[in-house]
């Protein structure tokens, strides 16, 4: 069973991350220009909220503020230690003035 999580585009900061409720941990949604990404809002290293992290638009990554691990926004893969496990990513689409995230 899957469900849709919706967020208003106006609530998503350009070049930054936002937390929205949904999924097992809440979702970290990132907006870079016209591209949107959604992943679990938790670092796989110590369950810290990724939505508090800094987004690097060039490398399409987000950094966990707890220990500095970075994760790919595209596939959730860790880019550096101490994290060694991916975080789940989810498909997104824009419908009118809303972002829709598909959560399985």
Q: Mean pLDDT across the stretch 10-33?
A: 93
pLDDT of amino acid 21: 93
What DSSP line would sit under 35-69, residue for residue? EEEEEESS-TTT---GGGSEEETTTTEEE-TTT--
Structure confidence by residue, pLDDT tens digits, 31-86: 999 999 999 999 999 989 999 999 999 999 999 999 999 999 999 999 999 999 99
pLDDT of amino acid 23: 77
pLDDT of amino acid 22: 86
Q: How far apart are the first and last CA of the chain?
A: 6
Q: Is 71 exposed, middle or buried (0-12, 13-18, 19+ CB in 10 A)?
A: buried
Whether 10 has a pLDDT exceeding 80, the answer reads: yes
Structure confidence by residue, pLDDT tens digits, 23-38: 788 999 999 999 999 9
Which domains are delineated in the chain?
Answer: 3-103 (2.102.10.10)
pLDDT of amino acid 45: 94
Report the predicted TM-score, pTM, of the whole model to 2 decimal places: 0.93
């Amino acid at each position: 069973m899957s469900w849709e999580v919706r967020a208003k585009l106006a609530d998503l900061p350009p070049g930054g991350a936002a937390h929205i409720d949904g999924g097992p941990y809440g979702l970290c949604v990132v907006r870079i220009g016209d591209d949107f990404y959604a992943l679990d809002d938790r670092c796989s290293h110590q369950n810290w909220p990724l939505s508090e992290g800094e987004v690097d638009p060039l490398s399409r990554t987000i950094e966990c503020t707890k220990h500095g691990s970075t994760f790919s926004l595209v596939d959730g893969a860790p880019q550096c230690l101490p994290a060694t496990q991916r975080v789940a990513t989810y498909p997104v689409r824009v419908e009118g003035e809303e972002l829709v995230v598909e959560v399985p």
